[in-house]
Structures are given as C-alpha cells and as structure tokens.
C-alpha cells in the first residue's frame, strides 16, 4: 500500500513564516536600539573630549593669572580691573602669566578674555552665540576672538563667577565656570544635553 511522504502543510509553513518574521522584527528593533545607544555614546564622548580640552586650557590659564574681571556685555575691557562677580558674568578677563600662556611673549602684558559668542562674520562676544571664544592681547598684538570649542558642541549658557578678585582682600581668588549646552552631530545620532561646572583657584598666594 502506497503511503504519502511526510511534509509540511500550507498552514504549517504560514505559521512558521509568521513566527520567523516576528523574531526578526524583534531582533531588528534590538539592533537599532543598540546602534542608537552606541551613536549617542560616541556623540557624548566627542563632546566631553572637546569640553575637557577647552576647560583644561582655560583652567591652566586662569590659575596662573591675576587681576580677574568678570562682567556682562559684548565689550569686555582691554585691561582688567580686579572685580568680583557674585551674580555671574558672561565674560572673564584676566592678566595671564606670559611665561605660561601660549601666544604671549615673556615680559609683556598678556590679557586673556573668555566669553560665549558667535563666529558668524566677525567673531564677537554675544550671549546668544554657540561657541566659547578666547582673545589674547599680547602687549601691542591682539589675536582676536577665536573659538576653542568645536561646531558639534553648542554652548547654550556660559557663566563665570569670581570671588576674591580684589588684591589684598585676604581671600584667595577663585573662578567658577558653569557651562550648559547640547551636541549637534548632524547625523542620525540624537542630540544630547550636558551641564558642566568647574572651579579654579589662583595658584599665586593672595597676600
């Protein structure tokens, strides 16, 4: 007696295909989630590397400086007058140690300015800008405002607080920097917000 060989029915094939599709959709969703998390982590790493470099450069300059001046506005003074800034300022100006500060000539009057600003056209200190800008005045030469943060790092807020700036007040000068912003990768990676705060104490003893 002839017997039909065992095989799959149409219903079995449809059920197994449906199960396979469901598993693949779940796996694809998990893969996309891992990819998005990896892109976000890479974006955050890029931001933090750039911010760490910028803050490191700022901290080294500030801690070896004197006559700190903190204020608000688009026109920081060329030569700083020691001024505390307990309510926060949008720019910081100080006299740097020319032997330490890059771009300065030893023995010259070296003044450094940090502010938030824009690079569109001529760079200016502007509270609506998206970069941290730096200007170095070296006696008779002026570097002009140049960005020290990358375009991928959008600065939404930059505030300086200074305590103990006046000379001879027996308070060791300390500068606190608060930065808020977000990433701007321009790709598929989602934007990530960040908030950074650091304090720098003047290395020279304030007598």
Higher pLDDT, 177 or 11: 177
| Residue 57 predicted with pLDDT over 70 | yes
CA-nearest of 93, 79, 74 to 160 is 93
Summarised one tens digit per residue, pLDDT across range 118-136 is 888 788 888 888 999 999 8
Distance CA 85, CA 203 (A): 19
Q: What are phi and psi of 81, to 5 degrees?
A: -105, 125
The reported pLDDT for the residue numbered 184 is 77
The reported pLDDT for the residue numbered 20 is 86
| Residue 8 predicted with pLDDT over 80 | no
Torsion angle (degrees, nearest 10) of CA 185, 187, 189, 190: 70
Burial of 105 (0-12, 13-18, 19+ CB in 10 A): middle
Strand pairing partners for 134?
A: 114, 146
Show the CA angle centred on residue 195, arms to residues 194 and 199, nearest 5°: 145
Summarised one tens digit per residue, pLDDT across range 144-189 is 888 999 888 899 999 999 998 887 777 888 999 999 998 876 655 5
Tokens of 176: 């606190």
> pTM for this structure?
0.75
Tokens of 86: 């307990």
Summarised one tens digit per residue, pLDDT across range 191-202 is 778 888 999 988
Percent of the chain clearing pLDDT 70 (strictly above)? 91
Higher pLDDT, 112 or 39: 112
The 10 Å Cβ neighbour count of residue 157 is 13
């Amino acid at each position: 007696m002839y017997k039909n060989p065992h095989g799959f029915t149409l219903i079995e094939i449809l059920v197994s295909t449906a199960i396979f599709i469901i598993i693949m959709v779940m796996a694809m969703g998990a893969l996309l989630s891992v990819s998005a998390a990896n892109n976000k982590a890479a974006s955050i790493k890029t931001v933090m590397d750039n911010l760490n470099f910028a803050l490191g450069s700022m901290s080294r300059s500030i801690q070896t400086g004197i006559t700190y001046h903190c204020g608000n506005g688009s026109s920081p003074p060329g030569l700083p007058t020691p001024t505390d800034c307990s309510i926060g300022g949008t720019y910081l100006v100080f006299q740097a140690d020319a032997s330490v500060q890059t771009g300065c000539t030893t023995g010259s009057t070296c003044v450094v300015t940090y502010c938030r600003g824009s690079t569109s056209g001529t760079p200016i200190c502007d509270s609506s800008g998206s970069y941290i800008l730096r200007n170095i005045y070296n006696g008779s030469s002026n570097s002009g405002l140049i960005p020290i943060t990358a375009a991928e790092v959008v600065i939404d807020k930059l505030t300086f607080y200074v305590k103990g700036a006046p000379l001879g007040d027996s308070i060791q000068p300390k500068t606190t920097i608060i930065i808020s912003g977000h990433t701007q990768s321009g790709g598929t990676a989602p934007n990530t917000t960040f908030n950074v705060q650091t304090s720098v104490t003047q290395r020279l003893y304030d007598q």
